[in-house]
A and B are shown apart, each in its own frame.
Chain A
């Protein structure tokens, strides 16, 4: 039990679909993150939220839209994705931004 829970664990979606990934942390942390992990590529930081405010957006395409309604929940809204967006999407949290991160188990996304 890592304290960071992601749902769903697996998702298959068509390129015209709209779906959302959910992340919840029970650690009392103030910062939350979305990472993308693709085969044979380093872990890519997508978004950082601190106290529900977005503090970093690493040139992520607009078809990925994050939402952080409170410090315990983080969403990643997906629309009109491309097959190359297929990857493992990892959520993480930390006490403060960019300190030791605790990861969820990830959502394996396949875009068909």
Chain B
């Protein structure tokens, strides 16, 4: 069965600094991988997804993630943090189209001015 581990339940960065949120996955088959963002009192919004095409995936709001099979990782990055990026971020994995989505525990990103 697939699983997701998000390293660090809280990450704090300064405005303008690099954002790096870590996600490692376990899957018995080539996975589909997702990053979602959740703002306070809101639902989850899809940031980006990897479905076996290009390994570097660009998403909304300047975020991108790179699929690294050898490291079983799908870390989320953004070159320059903005105050509006403060939210909780969830990594999710499924074992291909039509298979169950499993979510990580989430990482809360704080952006300091």
Contacts and interface: CB of A to CB of B under 8 A. Distances in A.
B98 to A, nearest CB: 5
A98 B94 contact: yes
Contacts, number: 49
Contacts of B94: 98
> What is the interface of chain B mostly: helix, strand, loop, or mixed?
loop
Nearest to B46: A100
Interface in A73-110: 90, 92, 96-106, 108
B68 to A, nearest CB: 21
Interface residues of B, number: 20
B107 to A, nearest CB: 12
Interface stretch (B20-28, B36-44, B54-62, B69-77): B36-44
Interface of B: 34, 36, 41-46, 49, 90, 94, 97-101, 103-106
